[in-house]
Amino acid sequence: MQIGELFILGFFGKVVPAWLREFAERYGLGGVILFDYSCQTQQYDNNIETPEQVRQLCAEIACLPSRPMVFIDQEGGLVRRLKEGRGFAPLPSAREFNRLAPDQKREILTASFAEMRNLGIHYDFAPVIDVDYNPDNPNIGRIKRSYSADIAEVEVNALLMSEVAREQRVGLCLKHFPGIGGALVDSHQEFMDISDALTLEQEELFYALAPRMFGDAVLVSHAIVRQWDPHHPMTLSAAGLGRLRNRLPETLLITDDMQMQGLQKALGTREASLQSLRAGMDMLCIGNNLFDQELEMAGIAETMGQALRDGTLVPAAIGQSIERVRRRKALLAGASAAL
């Protein structure tokens, strides 16, 4: 059982590093995530320089053992790794996009997704379907990542994005379950308690939209919903993830970055990753951008392998997660698999 299929890993630099090659050879690898900005150097000197360089890097990644998928955050506006200044297609923020005419929206999306597919990118961590309940939310509303405070407008934009993504064969991943638009703190810095801000209609939007998205995936936030689980954020909550899995039995569930500060302060990457898989997540996203833990990735995979052997992780459940990952690989490689 290749435990590495459950990892989406980031790395620093514009070519595949030796440690990542070795990881893929030994454990397999589910995916790679690309960044333009490096939190370590505080410069735009990470994985992305020009379209041609990114195309070559994605081709290099595709040749790794187990053929990992390439993931990117290309929402638009401030959260956009492929920027116009580097020669990539324009993509406005969600809030600005929502104000455009339908034909303009389709034209922009077609150019952006066609570009991603031509570069060799398989999955876009988008659309954000967090409803703009709190315009002062430092991680959503304040930086225009939500389409609207009107949930119907959020849904219309997400469905259009999926329609175009399906045409261009780029997978989408809804975020951030169960909906963090009403949060008061930045999820990169602290656990968010959204117990009083979460609405049933926001939660239901994930269940309604996920099966209609090309790629059928949901990114789970580190938010706390006390009425579901008073002790764990969603990425570590068997109760919260069970609620999600009950409604979306075959959706691919991906964690928000496991290096975010809330998890780091509480547990650290290794223990948080183990608890997350045990709770029911399918894929662990470890960006190696907020922190440089590149050389610790093999050790984390070894911990997961040992947990499988000693029964801390249930082999049948892990096998189901690996199968979900492999089905997406087949789909996005252009094979005949269907979700």
Element (H, E) at 25: helix 18-27
Structure confidence at residue 207 (pLDDT): 98
| Spatial distance between the Cα atoms of 298 and 30, rounded to a whole number of angstroms | 14
Structure confidence at residue 253 (pLDDT): 98
Element (H, E) at 218: strand 217-220
Contacts of 86 (CB under 8 A, 6+ apart): 36, 48, 49, 50, 51
Domain boundaries, the chain: 3-332
Two tokens, residue 6: 């459950």
**End-to-end CA separation in angstroms for the chain:** 23
Structure confidence at residue 190 (pLDDT): 66
As a whole number of Å, the CA-based R_g of the chain is 18
Residue segments in the chain with a per-residue pLDDT below the cut of 70: 186-190, 334-339
Structure confidence at residue 266 (pLDDT): 84
Q: Model pTM greater than 0.85? A: yes
Structure confidence at residue 188 (pLDDT): 63
Q: What is the pLDDT of residues 148-176, one digit of tens each?
A: 999 999 999 999 999 999 999 999 999 99
Structure confidence at residue 338 (pLDDT): 36
Structure confidence at residue 186 (pLDDT): 67
Q: Is 110 helix (H, G, I), strand (E, B) or coil?
A: helix
At the second CATH level, the architecture of 3-332 is Alpha-Beta Barrel (3.20)
Of the candidates 109, 135, 96, 64, the one whose C-alpha atom is nearest the C-alpha of residue 214 is: 109
Structure confidence at residue 334 (pLDDT): 53
Structure confidence at residue 262 (pLDDT): 81
Check the CA dihedral 238-244-247-251 and report its sign.
negative
Query: For the chain, what's the residue count?
Result: 339
